[in-house]
């Protein structure tokens, strides 16, 4: 009964893909801002389909600026979830397949927050920059490297002094070197993206509206210092990987001899079928610790989802042993999300997160519900309206005052 | 089969990288994590000073309590305070002491020469939900009771027998005062001891030293008609409390810092008043602020006469650690504004200390205030003999509840209706409110004393900075190193 229900679900999703699919005349469709193909989070580069990396185009004899007439260079190994308006330069002698790409990603928003302040409606509004990323990717044959910097407030936690007040400054978010051998083994070393957060966000495809619930809750870090090794399944079936990290995230230094170990996989079990290929299974387990006392910080995360062009969505469950320096606290987070593109350039999304901060407490929970609608004015640029609603259990409300009741946001997102 | 074994061995080796903790107790691990996280910037920046603070905390349970406000905030956030939700909770956040505890109250010397008991430590002052500050203060009253009469076990046992009454009295006093304030009664500065032996002792000592200008006698010397600050040890009870010369880079920056400080005073004296005659770097003062940069200045005062010279304390101030309590909160990036606002809202007597202001010195936010022996702080170690009786401790607790209510009442000017909101939250059931706060205070006081033992053990296992050690890249350029200074060798 259950199997047939699942099968019916896939069939319906497949039909919806066919029914809503826009004609794609280009032989090599340019990926759009919010529509990464199958596995397309920039921080999670992995060829899934086709299994063979696309051949690099023959470089021109001399480097030339990219013009509208110049077709964009082939992406490096993974299809980036960007507009395709990247700058690629054959830098050596024009004959070697040496490619460098520059990318920019910027999310900015206006936020109107409203809350009940002991019977009186209070409000606040401000402009924020929620993401400012600039990255350089380089590839030469199987060798790859990336440097990604992000904007961050200078007086965030850990800063003894701000820089010129609390200015935005740039810091490293990723900095790694990697090598892909025989198209099946990929290694990375440096400040690397962890293997759980990116795929979850890619599954929803609305990062400009919100990060994954597990990242927002502080249960998962998107990057850390360490190394990963992944085995890439052929024909787009996904990958399986193992990572070893310091465990303090990318914004703190290492404090103990323990290293976090992450085992993760992303599977597309129906990759053999065009119609069902978007079905995705994510699973990861990380064993780790934080601080000099090695507070336990283990995580299990599983996700099921559909990564279609028209519809994508799914659910994620993250179970945590240890939360916020309390190694003996058990925590559970469940998240459901969906994004629909009923017509070209229009994106509708919804996301609901339920987080039980401490399973031992009945009322220590938070719910965040987000709804959004966005329109891509041009491929790399979209504008979104979002509404967030918050509910807190009594204990969470007393432990984490104050809370917003509703937030209204206008988000501008650009991704080159 | 062999492949499977190899894979299993490889996986086992990988997982083995997640090393075992050197500490078994989960709460001990939690304490270490929270404290090292809160202190990490300081530890990497000035590990010897942080080690001094931890040494002090390990040696004295009340110093541990004073040094662990971040742990208290963490426990509040984790929902580990009291265990149950409270019907008296409301998200009402007045400006408050931030780390409200017994030793954060004391006398301040007003511009008219009068003494008043106020909160005398604004390092952590910020907007906090009222209830967590009431609880913090009640916990401190219980801990203080348990540590009272240090040399008289019998008297301490008697005092401990009254600890619940003390916590109840504090909460009742807060509730009653808050209701009166909400009804329109004016804030009443504590300008005399009334029936409190502890406050009577406080005023007696302050008035005596005010008359004698004891700070000039103890901290300065006259040579050839010129006054200068002493060097070396300044407190025989605290060998690490020493004055040393200031580095040249600081000396050259101090006049500019004083100019900026003057602008933050409500009624600044003439610039000549602040003419710097001498300056020293002070080490070994405070508890939570032990690693902070601190200087003592000798300035000209009202006239050229060396007898009216004035001492000022210049102390580095960091973030409060408070969660943003309201939309229009002051965040950690604006320490100066936070202190100036707290000064205005928390004191019951306007401009209770007219020389209390803010400045910056070589990039650090610094608070400047009068250094006077007339500024006496309530000290737990003095709660003995006549000051350690159940009656004296009960009166002290009652006064503390009243003082905190008065501190909170100042925010009515900032947010009209706040007093009524707190009074409504407390409700008319004073007994129920007091019972709940008393139960929380006693339970958490048990936790504090148990945590102190855990902390001492962790320090023993992990080393003087709880395992956080600066790397080679954490060194300073010569000016910054001079600013922070090198503390004297710790006593054996």
From chain B, pick out residues whose CB is under 8 angstroms from the CB of A113. Answer: 327
Buried b (16+ CB within 10 A) or exposed e, B113-123: eebbbbbbbbb
> What's the Rg (C-alpha) of chain B?
24
Segments of chain B scoring below 70 in pLDDT: 1-20, 82-84, 325-333, 475, 490-492
Q: Where are the alpha helices (DSSP H) in A124-231?
A: 197-204, 213-216
Q: Which structure tokens are listed for B192?
A: 């005399």
Asked if B217 has any chain A CB less than 8 Å from its own CB, the reply is no
- Which residue of chain B comes nearest to A404, CA vs CA? B327
Closest by Cβ to B14, choosing from A155, A261, A291: A261
Q: Which residues of A touch B326 (CB under 8 A)?
A: 117, 122, 402
H or E stretch including A296? strand A295-296
Alpha carbon of A414: minimum distance to chain B alpha carbons (Å): 28
Question: Which of chain B's residues have a Cβ under 8 Å away from the Cβ of A400?
Answer: 77, 323
Query: From the CA of A257, how many Å to the nearest CA of chain B?
Result: 7
Given this model, what pLDDT does residue A242 score? 97
The answer to whether B332 faces chain A, any CB pair under 8 Å, is yes
ipTM: 0.75
CA distance A215 to A105: 19
Task: Name the B residues in 252-311 with CB < 8 Å from any A CB.
Answer: none
Chain A closest-CA separation from residue B193 CA (Å)? 36
Predicted pLDDT at A48: 39
Which chain B residues are Cβ-neighbours of A122 within 8 angstroms? 326-327
Chain B: residue nearest A126 by CA? B327
Are the beta carbons of A285 and B18 closer than 8 angstroms?
no
B34 and chain A: CB distance < 8 Å anywhere?
yes
Task: Give DSSP secondary structure letters for B301-343.
Answer: -SSS-GGG-EEEEEEE-----PPP-STT---TT-HHHHHHHHH
**A-chain residues within 8 Å CB-CB of B36?**
255, 291-293
Measure B199 CA to nearest chain A CA, in Å. Answer: 34
Angle at which helix B430-462 crosses helix B47-59, to 10 degrees, equals 120
Question: Which residue in the set A117, A166, A259 is minimally distant from B18, CB to CB?
Answer: A259
8 Å CB contact between B413 and B213: no
Instruction: For residue B81, give the DSSP letter.
Output: S
Q: What is the CA radius of gyration of chain A?
A: 22
Closest residue on chain B to A158 (Cα): B41
> What pLDDT is stored for residue A368 in this prediction?
96
With an 8 Å Cβ cutoff, are B21 and A361 in contact?
A: no
**Residue in chain A nearest B361 by alpha carbon:** A161
A and B: number of Cβ contacts within 8 A: 157
Q: What is the pLDDT of residues B279-310, one digit of tens each?
A: 999 999 999 999 999 999 999 999 999 999 99
Contact by Cβ (8 Å): A85, A79: no
Residue B246, CA atoms < 13 Å, CB-side half-sphere: 24
pLDDT at B9: 56
To the nearest whole angstrom, how far is the Cα of B46 from the nearest Cα of chain A? 11
Interface mutation vs chain B, best among A241, A325, A362, A396, most B CBs within 10 Å? A325
Using an 8 Å Cβ cutoff, are A242 and A228 in contact? yes
The H or E element that residue A382 is part of is: strand A381-392
The partner residue sitting opposite B18, judged by closest CB among A166, A289, A397, is: A289
Distance separating alpha carbons of residues A275 and A288, to the nearest angstrom: 38
In the prediction, which pLDDT does A271 show? 94
Is A161 in Cβ contact with B32 (below 8 Å)?
no
Tokens 């007393």 sit on residue:
A398
What pLDDT, on the 0 to 100 scale, is given for residue B221? 96
Contacting residues of A for B89, CB less than 8 Å apart: 397-398, 401
Nearest-Cα distance to chain B for A314, in Å, is 30
Contact B79 A255 (CB under 8 A): no
SS3 A246: coil
Q: How far is CA B438 from CA A345, A399, B84, B134, in A?
A: 60, 19, 14, 10
What pLDDT sits at residue A80?
35
Q: How far is A260 from chain B (nearest CA, A)?
A: 6
Whether A366 contacts A391, CB under 8 Å: yes
10-residue mean pLDDT series, chain A (416 residues)? 46 47 38 37 40 39 39 40 43 64 94 84 90 92 93 70 75 95 95 95 92 93 95 94 92 83 96 94 93 87 94 96 89 96 94 95 93 94 96 88 88 94
Question: Residue A118 and residue B92: Cβ atoms within 8 Å?
Answer: yes
Q: DSSP letter string over A135-175?
A: EEEEEETTEEEEEEEEEEETTSTT-SS-STTT-EEEEEEEE
pTM: 0.83
Question: A229 - beta bridge partners?
Answer: A187, A242
Query: Are A289 and B467 within 8 A, CB to CB?
Result: no
Structure tokens that stand for B259 in this block? 């100019």
User: Does residue A8 sit in helix, strand or coil?
Assistant: helix
For residues A25 and A27, give the distance between their C-alpha atoms in angstroms, rounded to a whole number. Answer: 6
Instruction: Tell me how crowded residue A23 is: count the other CB atoms within 10 A of its CB.
Output: 6
Instruction: Please check whether residue B118 is in contact with residue B109, taking contact to mean a CB–CB distance below 8 angstroms.
Output: no
Q: Closest Cα to residue B206, out of B394, B382, B46?
A: B382
Show the 3-state SS of B440-461: HHHHHHHHHHHHHHHHHHHHHH
Q: Cα B96 vs. chain centroid, distance in angstroms?
A: 12
Are B368 and B339 in contact, with CB atoms under 8 Å apart? Answer: no
Chain B residue at shortest CA distance from A357: B78
Closest Cβ opposite residue A258 in set B18, B74, B129: B18
How many CB atoms are closer than 10 A to CB B416? 9
Q: Does B17 touch chain A (CB under 8 A)?
A: yes
The whole-number pLDDT of residue A98 equals 79
Task: From B204, B199, B239, B234, select the one nearest B219 (Cα to Cα).
Answer: B234
């Amino acid at each position: 009964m259950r199997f047939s229900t699942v099968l019916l679900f896939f069939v319906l999703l497949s039909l919806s893909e066919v029914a809503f699919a826009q004609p794609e005349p280009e032989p090599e469709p340019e990926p759009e801002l919010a529509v990464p193909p199958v596995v397309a989070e920039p921080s999670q580069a992995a060829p899934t389909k086709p299994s063979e990396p696309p051949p690099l185009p023959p470089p021109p004899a001399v480097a030339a600026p990219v013009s509208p007439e110049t077709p964009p260079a082939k992406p490096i190994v993974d299809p980036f979830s960007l507009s395709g308006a990247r700058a690629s330069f054959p830098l050596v002698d024009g004959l070697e397949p040496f490619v460098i790409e520059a990318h920019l990603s910027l999310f900015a928003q206006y936020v109107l927050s409203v809350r009940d302040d002991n019977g009186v409606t209070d409000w606040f509004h401000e402009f924020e920059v929620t993401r400012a990323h600039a990255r350089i990717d380089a590839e030469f044959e199987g060798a790859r490297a990336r440097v990604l910097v992000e904007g961050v407030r200078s007086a965030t936690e850990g800063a003894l002094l701000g820089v010129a007040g609390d200015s935005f400054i740039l810091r490293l978010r990723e900095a790694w070197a990697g090598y892909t051998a025989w198209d099946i083994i990929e290694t990375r070393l440096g400040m690397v993206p962890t293997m759980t957060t990116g795929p979850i966000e890619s599954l929803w495809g609305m990062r400009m509206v919100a990060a994954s619930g597990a990242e927002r809750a502080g249960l998962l870090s998107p990057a850390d210092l360490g190394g990963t090794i992944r085995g890439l399944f052929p024909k787009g079936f996904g990958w399986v990987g193992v990572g070893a990290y310091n465990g303090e995230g990318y914004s703190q230094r290492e404090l103990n001899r323990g290293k976090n170990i992450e085992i993760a996989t992303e599977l597309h079990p129906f990759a053999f079928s065009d119609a069902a290929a978007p079905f995705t299974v994510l699973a990861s387990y990380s064993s780790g610790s934080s601080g000099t006392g090695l507070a336990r910080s283990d995580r299990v995360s599983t996700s099921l989802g559909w990564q279609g062009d028209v519809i994508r969505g799914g659910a994620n469950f993250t179970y945590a042993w240890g939360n916020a320096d309390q190694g003996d606290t058990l925590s559970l987070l469940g998240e459901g999300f969906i994004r629909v593109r009923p017509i070209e350039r229009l994106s509708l999304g919804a996301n609901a997160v339920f987080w039980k901060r401490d399973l031992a407490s009945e009322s220590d929970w938070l719910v965040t519900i987000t709804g959004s609608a966005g329109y891509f004015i041009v491929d790399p640029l979209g504008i979104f309206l979002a509404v967030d609603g918050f509910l807190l259990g009594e204990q969470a409300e007393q432990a984490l005052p104050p809370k917003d009741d509703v937030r209204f946001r206008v988000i501008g997102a650009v991704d080159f | 089969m062999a492949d499977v074994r190899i894979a299993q061995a490889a996986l086992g080796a990988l997982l083995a990288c997640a090393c075992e903790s050197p500490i078994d107790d989960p709460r001990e691990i939690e304490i270490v994590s929270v404290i090292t996280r809160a202190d990490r910037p300081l530890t990497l920046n000035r590990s010897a000073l942080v080690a001094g603070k931890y040494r002090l905390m390990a040696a004295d349970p009340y110093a541990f309590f004073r040094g662990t406000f971040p742990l208290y905030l963490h426990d509040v956030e984790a929902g580990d305070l009291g265990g149950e939700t409270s019907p008296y909770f409301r998200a009402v956040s007045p400006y408050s002491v931030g780390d409200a505890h017994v030793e954060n109250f004391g006398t301040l010397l007003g511009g008219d020469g009068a003494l008043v008991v106020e909160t005398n430590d604004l390092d952590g002052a910020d907007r906090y939900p009222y209830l967590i500050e009431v609880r913090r203060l009640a916990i401190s009253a219980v801990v203080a009771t348990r540590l009272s009469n240090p040399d008289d076990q019998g008297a301490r046992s008697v005092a401990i027998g009254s600890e619940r009454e003390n916590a109840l009295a504090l909460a009742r006093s807060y509730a009653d005062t808050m209701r009166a304030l909400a009804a329109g009664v004016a804030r009443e500065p504590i300008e005399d001891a009334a029936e409190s032996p502890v406050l009577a002792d406080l005023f007696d000592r302050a008035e005596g030293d005010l008359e004698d200008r004891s700070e000039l006698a103890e901290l300065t010397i006259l040579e050839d008609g010129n006054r200068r600050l002493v060097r070396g040890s300044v407190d025989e009870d605290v060998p690490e409390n020493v004055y040393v010369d200031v580095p040249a880079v600081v000396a050259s920056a101090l006049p500019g810092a004083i100019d900026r400080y003057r602008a933050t005073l409500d009624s600044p004296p003439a610039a000549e008043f602040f003419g710097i005659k001498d300056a020293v770097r002070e080490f070994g003062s405070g508890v939570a602020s032990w690693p902070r940069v601190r200087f003592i200045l000798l300035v000209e005062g009202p006239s050229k006469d060396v007898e009216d010279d004035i001492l000022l304390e210049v102390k580095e101030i960091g973030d409060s650690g408070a969660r943003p309590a309201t939309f229009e909160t002051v965040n950690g990036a604006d320490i100066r504004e936070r202190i100036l606002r707290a000064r205005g809202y928390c004191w019951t007597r306007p401009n209770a200390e007219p020389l209390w202001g803010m400045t910056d010195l070589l990039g650090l936010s610094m608070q400047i205030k009068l250094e006077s022996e007339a500024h006496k702080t309530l000290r737990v170690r003095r709660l003995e003999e006549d000051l350690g009786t159940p009656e004296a401790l009960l009166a002290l607790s009652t006064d503390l509840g009243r003082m905190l209510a008065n501190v909170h009442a100042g925010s009515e000017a900032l947010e009209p209706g706040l007093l009524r909101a707190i009074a409504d939250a407390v409700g008319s059931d004073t007994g129920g409110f007091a019972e709940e706060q008393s139960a929380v205070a006693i339970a958490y006081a048990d936790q504090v004393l148990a945590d102190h033992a855990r902390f001492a053990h962790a320090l023993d296992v992990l080393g003087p900075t709880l395992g956080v050690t600066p790397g080679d890249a954490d060194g300073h350029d010569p000016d910054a190193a001079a600013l922070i200074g090198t503390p004297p060798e710790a006593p054996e």
